């Protein structure tokens, strides 16, 4: 058995002068590679989440080919491999049930193969965070490319933003404002090309946030999926990852506390998705960077929302790209972020954004004339209803409901609510607070995006378009409304949400960060003592393991045994 020592990780496979080395090289040579590809050059894995079941990631095979061009050109050896694809639009009950599975899969794939560096190709909501979590637990030099948004949707000359306008128009169909035929006509106009949702939903948010973390090349996030510049960027990323291996620029050198602080500030500046909160907490947990829910409030509160983007504003990702994208946002708030942070370019943020310009100040507003004032981003509320916190996206809420007291109308499951949402006799008024239980990480299971309960038809008929809604669920990044999410601990885990009853008064006070269930401590204790936890929804397989090990929302909803890193050790060889 060979005991040779190598400088490069892949040489522990390809550099061996024994039977094992023979087998590792020999079988790859059936692909026709020249023998010198095994000579110690950087071997670059390309983790590709392309799938026909995930239309948002449909362009990634072409991206992978462009990356390979760059890797070959820079003297590396690219090897593409498939990783689980998570399709927000098709997968049930929710892709969030599988984000940690993708993270676990990609971690093991990277570690168990002869790789020196990795390029991660993701796009739809959960693929970028899942890939990054897994890669962070290995910690090779790593670069991400998000596939990019679809071209803007248009219907009768008007923009149709994916997700966002589906919520609006589906409520208009229910209230009879538009016909079902019109609704169907919009469907064919809202997905004009390959790519992810072109609003500032979760996919676009995570693309911007990963660029702000410093793990994508500058400008990458906003390039539309079908734009030739996306493939140019992939080509350049291929060249760059080879250099990153040579410089030993590991992921942990980029993903430090400064990176997360920058990401949180950019999240606030773009009015990004609430889902970024759980993903950033989970990624930080993998690299051991201390980060908690309150950091989002503390770091985001002085940052103005400067991206006028749906769902909070009016523009779509094509305009955001044309205006300058993330480098322009970073430049506009340069005095609020760490510009000395080192990114995958090997350069600082300051150097990366030097040439950025703001080409459209209506889309990316100047920081001193912001689209929305500081404090309109994601806010953390706490109190007797959410001892470990809950979040609300202020920019997507109705200002008048941010301080509100109302009586609870409680539903144990989203399905229970949907059955009666159109009932004209539903006991609701505009002041009612809709409360949804059993929709957190353990509860559903999988922490689905059902927190923005559709408005009751009775309210829509009265012209009421928003109400306070509170749950332990998540909400689509494309959705809007006065929606309190991620209540922690969740009801299924015995959080106070479990004990709310119809008619209880609830106080939401966003300016003072409060969320209280206004019943006496004695009454709360009595209900708690009588509470019977719901039966777990799965008795076998992944779902059972997930329910038993998933952490609460305020910790990032990772599996408890996946938090942290095992590093890039070379597993023992079997040949």
Residue 56 lies near ligand FES (rule: CB under 6 A): yes
Q: Which of 30, 3, 26, 28 is nearest to 16 (CA)?
A: 3
**Of the residues 197, 249, 394, 467, which one makes contact with ligand FES according to CB under 6 A:** 197
Decide whether 196 or 210 has the Cβ nearer to ligand FES: 196
Cβ closest to ligand FES, residue 89 vs residue 348: 89
- From 89, 292, 358, 465, residue interacting with ligand FES (rule: CB under 6 A): 89
Minimum distance from CB of 467 to ligand FES (Å)? 25
What is the helix (H) or strand (E) element at residue 119, kind and residue range? Answer: strand 117-122
Considering the rule CB under 6 A, would residue 358 count as an interface residue with ligand FES? no
Is residue 329 near ligand FES by the rule CB under 6 A? no
* Closest distance to ligand FES from the beta carbon of 125 (Å): 5
Q: Least distance to ligand FES from the beta carbon of 469, Å?
A: 21
Rounded to the nearest angstrom, the gap between the alpha carbon of residue 433 and the centroid of all alpha carbons in its chain is: 27
Our finding on whether 124 is near ligand FES (CB under 6 A) is yes
Nearest approach in angstroms of CB 88 to ligand FES is 4
204 contacts 333 by C-beta, under 8 angstroms:
no
3-state secondary structure of 219: coil
Burial of 20 (0-12, 13-18, 19+ CB in 10 A): middle
Interface pick for ligand FES out of 134, 201, 224, 445 (rule CB under 6 A): 201
Residue of 105, 107, 125, 295 that binds ligand FES (CB under 6 A) = 125
Residue 421 contacts residue 504 (beta carbons within 8 Å)? no
- How far is CA 225 from each of CA 147, 232, 317, 386, rounded to the nearest angstrom? 5, 12, 11, 39
Q: How many alpha carbons fall within 13 Å on the CB side of residue 384?
A: 16
Cα Rg for the chain, rounded, in angstroms? 24
State which residue, 94 or 237, has the beta carbon closest to ligand FES.
94
Q: How far is the CB of 13 from ligand FES (least distance, A)?
A: 35
Instruction: Using the rule CB under 6 A, give the single segment among 134-142, 197-205, 390-398, 431-439 that binds ligand FES.
Output: 197-205
* 66 near ligand FES, rule: CB under 6 A: no
Stretch that binds ligand FES, among 30-38, 193-201, 316-324, 326-334 (CB under 6 A): 193-201
Q: Which is nearer to ligand FES, 206 or 283 (CB)?
A: 206
561: CB partners within 8 A, 6+ apart: 549
State yes or no: residue 449 binds ligand FES (CB under 6 A). no
Q: Which of 120, 203, 376, 394 is in the footprint of ligand FES by CB under 6 A?
A: 203
Q: How far apart are CA 383 and CA 460, in angstroms?
A: 30
Pair 434, 414: CB distance under 8 Å = no
197 closest CA partner among 394, 385, 449:
449
Q: Of 531, 530, 443, 547, which Cα lies nearest the Cα of 492?
A: 443
Nearest distance from C-beta of residue 317 to ligand FES, angstroms = 11
Nearest distance, CB of residue 220 and ligand FES, angstroms: 16
Which listed residue (51, 196, 395, 482) binds ligand FES by CB under 6 A? 196
CA distance 46 to 122: 11
Which residues lie near ligand FES (CB under 6 A)?
Answer: 56, 88-89, 124-125, 196-197, 201, 203
């Amino acid at each position: 058995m060979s005991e040779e020592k190598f400088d490069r990780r892949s040489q522990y496979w390809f550099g061996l002068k024994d039977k094992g080395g023979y087998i590792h090289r020999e079988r790859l040579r059936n692909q026709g590679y020249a023998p010198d590809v095994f000579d110690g050059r950087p071997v670059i894995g390309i983790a590709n989440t392309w799938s026909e079941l995930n239309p948002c990631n449909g362009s990634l095979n072409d991206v992978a080919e462009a990356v390979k061009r760059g890797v070959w050109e820079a003297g590396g050896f690219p090897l593409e491999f498939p990783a689980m694809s998570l399709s927000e639009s098709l997968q049930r009950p929710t892709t969030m049930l599988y984000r940690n599975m993708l993270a676990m899969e990609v971690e093991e794939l990277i570690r168990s193969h002869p790789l020196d560096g990795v390029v991660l190709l993701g796009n739809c909501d959960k693929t970028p965070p899942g890939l990054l979590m897994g890669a962070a637990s290995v910690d090779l030099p790593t670069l991400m490319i998000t596939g990019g948004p679809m071209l803007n949707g248009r219907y009768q000359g008007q923009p149709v933003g994916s997700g966002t306008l589906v919520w609006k128009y589906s409520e208009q169909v229910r209230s009879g404002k538009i016909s079902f035929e019109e609704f169907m006509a919009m469907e064919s106009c809202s997905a004009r090309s390959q790519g992810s949702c072109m609003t500032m939903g979760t996919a676009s948010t995570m693309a911007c946030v990963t660029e702000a973390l410093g793990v994508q090349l500058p400008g990458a996030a906003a390039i539309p999926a079908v734009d030739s510049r996306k493939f140019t960027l992939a080509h350049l990323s291929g060249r760059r990852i080879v250099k990153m291996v040579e410089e030993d620029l590991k992921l942990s050198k980029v993903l430090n506390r400064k990176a997360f602080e920058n990401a949180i500030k950019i999240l606030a500046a773009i009015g990004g998705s609430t889902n970024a909160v759980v993903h950033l907490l989970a990624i930080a947990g993998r690299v051991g960077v201390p980060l908690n829910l309150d950091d989002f409030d503390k770091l985001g509160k002085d940052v103005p929302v400067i991206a006028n983007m749906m769902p909070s504003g009016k523009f779509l990702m094509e305009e955001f790209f044309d205006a300058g994208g993330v480098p322009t946002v970073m430049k506009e708030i340069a005095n609020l972020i760490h510009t000395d942070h080192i990114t995958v370019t090997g350069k600082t943020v300051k150097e990366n954004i030097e040439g950025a310009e703001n080409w459209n100040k209506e889309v990316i507003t100047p920081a001193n004339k912001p689209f929305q004032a500081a404090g309109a981003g994601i806010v953390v509320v706490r109190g007797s209803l959410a001892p470990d916190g809950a979040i609300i996206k202020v920019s997507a809420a109705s200002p008048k409901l941010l301080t509100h007291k109302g009586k609870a109308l409680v539903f144990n499951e989203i399905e229970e609510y949907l059955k009666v949402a159109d009932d004209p006799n539903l006991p609701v008024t505009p002041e009612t607070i809709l409360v949804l239980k059993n929709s957190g990480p353990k509860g559903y299971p999988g922490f689905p995006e059902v927190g923005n309960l559709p408005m009751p038809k009775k309210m829509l008929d009265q012209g009421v378009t928003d109400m306070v809604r509170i749950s332990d669920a998540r909400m689509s990044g494309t959705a809007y409304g006065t929606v309190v999410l991620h209540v922690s601990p969740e009801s299924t885990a015995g959080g106070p949400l479990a004990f709310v009853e119809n008619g209880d008064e609830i106080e939401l006070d966003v300016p003072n960060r409060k969320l209280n269930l206004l019943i006496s401590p004695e009454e709360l204790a009595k209900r708690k003592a009588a509470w019977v936890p719901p039966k777990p929804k799965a008795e076998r397989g992944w779902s059972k393991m997930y329910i038993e090990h998933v952490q609460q929302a305020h910790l990032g909803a990772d599996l408890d045994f996946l938090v942290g890193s095992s590093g890039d050790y070379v597993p023992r060889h079997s040949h």
